[in-house]
A and B are shown apart, each in its own frame.
Chain A
Amino acid sequence: MSAEAAAIPGLGAPADTEWETVVGLEVHAELATETKLFSASPNRFGGDPNTHIDPVSLGLPGSLPVLNEKAVELAIRVGLALNCRIQPSVFARKNYFYPDMPKDYQISQYDQPINVDGWLELPTGKRIGIERAHLEEDTGKTVHIGGGGRIHEAGYSLVDYNRAGVPLIEIVGHPELRSATEARLYVAEVRSILVAVGASDGKMEEGSLRVDCNVSVRPLGSDRLGTRCEIKNVNSLRSLGRAIEYESRRQIDLLTSGQAIEQQTRHWNEDDGRTHALRSKEEDYDYRYFPEPDLLPLDPSPEWVEQIRQELPSLPRDRRLRLVEVAPSTDADHIALAVERSMDELALAAIEGGGAPERVMTHIVHNLADGPGQLTPDALAGLVGMEDKGELTATQAKRVLAVLVDGGGSPQDAAQSLGFEAMDTGELESLVDGLISNHPDEWSRFCDGDAKLTGFFVGQVMKATRGRADGKAVTQLLHSRKG
């Protein structure tokens, strides 16, 4: 395991010394198109129920799907970003009855998906294989009325088809994740990639990014996969981690008490922190996939794919590598965070503009959580330079930074407006020398080694300078005067 990996809490330390957790994830992301996958209705979150609809997205008799070219382009972008092979593909019908699915089949891709055989790299450097990333349409939403919203107790149900037909890309990863933390890193990475290539807004809370996770356990060292359970209703990175940890523990407990794992689909309940059986493998649907006769096979030209490849923006992994190059001693998770927040460009420019990498990255990670606002790379580099020269204390720098974020401008002007004028060394020295002669008793106790007196002198200096002085510099000066 790399040094970067060790920097991420939880990673590298197996949860159990005898068992290994194996996780494979299916990530569904809504593609950021203007219109739906097969019709002209808007692809937009929210809106009054059943307002973003038309005969096609309602699956009315006689309606026919027409493929949205933009959705294909976004899917290819995702495929290329996930290092997939882009291949001729075929849409298929996945048949099952569900009220929020207007045609009672979902148009998806089955044995010939558009993107296959890719991989992505976690910030830890570990590569996870991607089996496929295919296009499909989303379903509507059922709202259960009465009975506290639970399906079995509801008086009746209403269906909103605004989401029906929204384009989704389903990214199926190989079961190569080994912990809840890795799973979270994986989803975060998928999300970063989706956002970076403009394919999706990646908002888990609005359901535009959804994750189904397959969890199994096996004795450490075994290379056989255990019986897996698929967990649904995981709606945040936090729930993902909790669900995997719970499920893995549940399976280990069953196995250690001599019981078998039944292959099941299970439902994560956020409130009780457990997974609950939904249906067993035997009860699972037979989807009766067959090629969708209403659509032609999809065969993007190599020229088009190449054009999309040329236009791909820089991807999170490459952006991390570039940042590591200029700030090599930064923690891997800080690098990842900077990229995830899209502040890597700012950091790079500030460092290239002369800012010390460590200080720049400290501000990026800790002090700019709400974004850079009006802060320019030059201003950040300048601010860091002032800190280096001792012209600003860490506390002052944070306040200057806040001014720069709010209103822009130069760090010098901002510091001045806050009254943080740099003190030259001579001014500080004469101030300290004056204090020593005015407080002989305190000074002799300090010289005898009473550490409490450091605070006294620093405090006096701060009071006299209204906080302009650098506490560290004062302490150094006191010690040097002690001889």
Chain B
Amino acid sequence: MTAVEIAAAVRSGQQSARTVVDEYLGAVAEGDADIRAFNLVTEGQARARADAIDSAVAAGRDPGPLAGVPVALKDNMCTRGVPTTCSSRILEGWAPPYDATVVERLHAAGAVIVGKTNMDEFAMGSSTENSAFGPTRNPCDTSRVPGGSSGGSAAAVAAGFAPVALGSDTGGSIRQPAALCGVVGVKPTYGLVSRYGLVAFASSLDQIGPFTTTVADSATVLDVISGPDHRDSTSIGESQPSVSATLDNGVDGLRVGVLAELSGDGIAPDVAARVQAAASALESAGARVAKASAPSAVYGLSAYYLIAPAEASSNLARYDGVRYGLRVDGDSTPDMNTATRSAGFGDEVKRRIMIGTYALSAGYYDAYYGKAQKVRTLIINDFASVWEEFDLLVSPTSPTTAFSLGERTADPMAMYMSDVCTVPVNLTGQAAMSVPFGVGDDGLPVGVQILAPALGEPVMFRAAAVLEASR
């Protein structure tokens, strides 16, 4: 059942939320030993919540558009009283005293949170192998990675452990695992979904979005979690039109560009072929398809790997052993800080903190962080020109299908290349999503990325629905 179907059945009393939740919890109990999608399954709370929803329905109240829908949360979203680990040892023992805004909105819409999913530590990675709790496996082929950093959420949906999961996308961390696991994944426009309660990796890039099996489910979830939030200063202040409402409007007359910079070198031919097929499908549905170019997009990855670590080096400073999480004693406060951080952070996190610290240092700021910000502006300007001619763009989401566990862990640069197609959108703040569109030569899922200008979600979802229907 899709989320939309579950909600309809629960709201109408055809099915109890408790039955739905029990069913999904059963699937987790049965299958997650192999997949390891979850860091924590909140069984008791989920069942109690489902019962409360059933009582509400029985009392004639409407629990909301996600009534009884099980939702898995990436373990970097704060849940009151429930451990939130970011898959890091450094947050050992910490349970937030508050819920993230998205959690509040899910609750208000009748959703049932079933657990917290595995991720690359602090969302740094593209394979979910950088987790202190061990890797998550791809349900399509358990010898492969699910992608990352929201690999646990993508895998949970792909494995049928939950119809909906939330992830966070800083450089592709929703779209890339969605592509690798064969599910829909959305990176909304920066500011559309509140970041309050999302443990920060890179504040100017982070954005929360849904994983689902269908485009309509993602639209429903996005409509629930998006909207202004006074607790996030970067939240867009005006409510946006419903994405679900125009989902079936088609793409007739839309101008769709195939982004040249993300279709050539480094893209596996079988993946590139699926993107061409997607473009054709849109054309058959009435869209006008042409080549598009944003020349500076090729510098996106370099700029990203300076800006994101720079912000991360500052965002992760607070894990110092003083207030919460892990503390390893030392002879002095600085010794304690060092011992705690040395023991608490994994290698990739340390690598990025060092890169970021360096990029912001006196004497290097202009050459690294400053230059990267200029490149970011160039990319924004290039895309602004593109949007004068096109309504949407298509590209691969990931240059390859899912790679094997361990294949890229020894080579950070190879791992970083996984993000080459997804990173530019985070730098510009635009909307993008990955829609499954067939398989590669290895039989593994290929995701097509649809890019839209800021707040272009309604049009982007129309194209996604067309691709889904023509699959």
Binding site for B on A (CB under 8 A): 55, 58-67, 93, 95, 97, 99, 102-105, 157, 159, 286, 288-290, 293-296
Q: Contacts A55-B97, A60-B96, A67-B233 known; A104 to B311 CB distance under 8 Å?
A: no
Contact pick for A61, options B96, B233, B310, B314, CB 8 Å: B96
**Which A-chain residue is minimally distant from B333 (CB atoms)?**
A99
Cα(A93)–Cα(B315), bound, Å? 10
Cα(A95)–Cα(B77), bound, Å? 24
Question: Closest 9 interchain pairs by CB?
Answer: A104-B317, A288-B360, A293-B204, A293-B203, A61-B199, A62-B197, A62-B78, A99-B322, A62-B199
Question: A64 contacts B196, CB within 8 Å?
Answer: yes
Pick 22 A–B contacts, CB within 8 A, sort by A. A55-B97, A55-B98, A58-B323, A59-B318, A59-B323, A61-B199, A62-B199, A63-B196, A63-B197, A64-B233, A66-B233, A97-B320, A97-B337, A103-B317, A104-B317, A286-B362, A288-B313, A290-B311, A290-B314, A293-B311, A295-B233, A295-B234
Cα(A113)–Cα(B168), bound, Å? 33
Cα(A95)–Cα(B361), bound, Å? 10
- Write out the residue numbers on chain B whose beta carbons fall within 8 Å of the beta carbon of A99: 320, 322, 333
Question: A61 contacts B200, CB within 8 Å?
Answer: yes
B211 located at the interface, meaning its Cβ lies under 8 Å from any Cβ of chain A in the complex: no
Cα(A290)–Cα(B368), bound, Å? 12
Question: A62 contacts B196, CB within 8 Å?
Answer: yes
Cα(A286)–Cα(B97), bound, Å? 33
Cα(A282)–Cα(B146), bound, Å? 47
Contact with A along B408-420 (1 / 0, CB 8 A): 0000000000000
B49 located at the interface, meaning its Cβ lies under 8 Å from any Cβ of chain A in the complex: no
- Write out the residue numbers on chain A whose beta carbons fall within 8 Å of the beta carbon of B322: 99, 159
With A290-B360, A290-B365 known, 17 other A-B pairs at CB within 8 A are A55-B97, A60-B97, A61-B91, A61-B94, A61-B199, A64-B231, A65-B233, A66-B230, A95-B317, A159-B322, A288-B313, A288-B357, A288-B360, A289-B360, A290-B369, A293-B311, A294-B203
- Write out the residue numbers on chain A whose beta carbons fall within 8 Å of the beta carbon of B337: 97
Contact pick for A62, options B100, B313, B314, CB 8 Å: B100
Question: A102 contacts B323, CB within 8 Å?
Answer: yes
Question: B317 contacts A296, CB within 8 Å?
Answer: no
- Shortest beta-carbon distance from A262 to chain B in Å: 20
Question: A286 contacts B317, CB within 8 Å?
Answer: no
- Shortest beta-carbon distance from A62 to chain B in Å: 4
Contact pick for B96, options A62, A66, A102, A296, CB 8 Å: A62
Question: A294 contacts B318, CB within 8 Å?
Answer: no
**Which B-chain residue is minimally distant from A55 (CB atoms)?**
B98
Cα(A58)–Cα(B322), bound, Å? 11
Question: A296 contacts B233, CB within 8 Å?
Answer: yes
- Write out the residue numbers on chain B whose beta carbons fall within 8 Å of the beta carbon of A67: 233
- Shortest beta-carbon distance from A100 to chain B in Å: 9
- Write out the residue numbers on chain B whose beta carbons fall within 8 Å of the beta carbon of A58: 323
Contact pick for B234, options A105, A289, A294, CB 8 Å: A294
Q: Contacts A66-B233, A293-B311, A294-B233 known; A61 to B360 CB distance under 8 Å?
A: no
Cα(A286)–Cα(B360), bound, Å? 9
Question: B77 contacts A288, CB within 8 Å?
Answer: no
Q: Contacts A58-B323, A61-B91, A99-B322 known; A93 to B314 CB distance under 8 Å?
A: yes
Q: Contacts A157-B333, A290-B310 known; A103 to B233 CB distance under 8 Å?
A: no
B195 located at the interface, meaning its Cβ lies under 8 Å from any Cβ of chain A in the complex: yes
- Majority SS at the chain B contact face: loop
Contact pick for A105, options B96, B204, B310, B317, CB 8 Å: B317
- Shortest beta-carbon distance from A61 to chain B in Å: 4
Q: Contacts A290-B360, A294-B203, A294-B233 known; A62 to B198 CB distance under 8 Å?
A: yes
- Write out the residue numbers on chain A whose beta carbons fall within 8 Å of the beta carbon of B197: 62-63
- Shortest beta-carbon distance from A387 to chain B in Å: 62
**Which B-chain residue is minimally distant from A292 (CB atoms)?**
B203
- Write out the residue numbers on chain B whose beta carbons fall within 8 Å of the beta carbon of A296: 233-234
- Shortest beta-carbon distance from A336 to chain B in Å: 42
- Write out the residue numbers on chain B whose beta carbons fall within 8 Å of the beta carbon of A62: 76-78, 84, 96, 98, 100, 196-200
Question: B91 contacts A64, CB within 8 Å?
Answer: no
Q: Contacts A286-B362, A294-B203 known; A64 to B318 CB distance under 8 Å?
A: no
B22 located at the interface, meaning its Cβ lies under 8 Å from any Cβ of chain A in the complex: no
B443 located at the interface, meaning its Cβ lies under 8 Å from any Cβ of chain A in the complex: no
B334 located at the interface, meaning its Cβ lies under 8 Å from any Cβ of chain A in the complex: yes
- Write out the residue numbers on chain A whose beta carbons fall within 8 Å of the beta carbon of B76: 62
- Shortest beta-carbon distance from A37 to chain B in Å: 12
Question: B318 contacts A102, CB within 8 Å?
Answer: yes
B232 located at the interface, meaning its Cβ lies under 8 Å from any Cβ of chain A in the complex: yes
B324 located at the interface, meaning its Cβ lies under 8 Å from any Cβ of chain A in the complex: yes
- Write out the residue numbers on chain B whose beta carbons fall within 8 Å of the beta carbon of A60: 78, 96-98, 324
**Which B-chain residue is minimally distant from A65 (CB atoms)?**
B233
- Write out the residue numbers on chain A whose beta carbons fall within 8 Å of the beta carbon of B361: 286, 288
Cα(A61)–Cα(B97), bound, Å? 10
Contact pick for A97, options B199, B231, B317, CB 8 Å: B317
Contact with A along B198-220 (1 / 0, CB 8 A): 11101110000000000000000
A59, A60, A66, A286 interface centre (most CB from chain B within 10 Å): A60
- Write out the residue numbers on chain A whose beta carbons fall within 8 Å of the beta carbon of B94: 61
Question: A61 contacts B234, CB within 8 Å?
Answer: no
List which B289-323 residues lie within 8 A (CB) of chain A: 310-311, 313-314, 317-318, 320, 322-323
- Write out the residue numbers on chain A whose beta carbons fall within 8 Å of the beta carbon of B362: 286, 288
**Which A-chain residue is minimally distant from B191 (CB atoms)?**
A296
Q: Contacts A63-B196, A157-B333 known; A288 to B230 CB distance under 8 Å?
A: no
**Which A-chain residue is minimally distant from B235 (CB atoms)?**
A64
- Write out the residue numbers on chain A whose beta carbons fall within 8 Å of the beta carbon of B334: 97
- Shortest beta-carbon distance from B339 to chain A in Å: 13
- Write out the residue numbers on chain A whose beta carbons fall within 8 Å of the beta carbon of B324: 60
Cα(A286)–Cα(B195), bound, Å? 29
**Which A-chain residue is minimally distant from B357 (CB atoms)?**
A288
**Which B-chain residue is minimally distant from A295 (CB atoms)?**
B233
B197, B234, B318 interface centre (most CB from chain A within 10 Å): B318
Question: A61 contacts B232, CB within 8 Å?
Answer: no
- Write out the residue numbers on chain B whose beta carbons fall within 8 Å of the beta carbon of A66: 230-233
Question: A288 contacts B314, CB within 8 Å?
Answer: yes
Contact with A along B360-398 (1 / 0, CB 8 A): 111001000100000000000000000000000000000
- Write out the residue numbers on chain B whose beta carbons fall within 8 Å of the beta carbon of A102: 318, 323
Cα(A296)–Cα(B234), bound, Å? 7
- Write out the residue numbers on chain A whose beta carbons fall within 8 Å of the beta carbon of B314: 93, 95, 105, 288, 290
- Write out the residue numbers on chain A whose beta carbons fall within 8 Å of the beta carbon of B333: 99, 157
Question: B195 contacts A64, CB within 8 Å?
Answer: yes
- Write out the residue numbers on chain B whose beta carbons fall within 8 Å of the beta carbon of A289: 360
- Shortest beta-carbon distance from B342 to chain A in Å: 14
Cα(A474)–Cα(B150), bound, Å? 99
A66, A93, A293 interface centre (most CB from chain B within 10 Å): A293
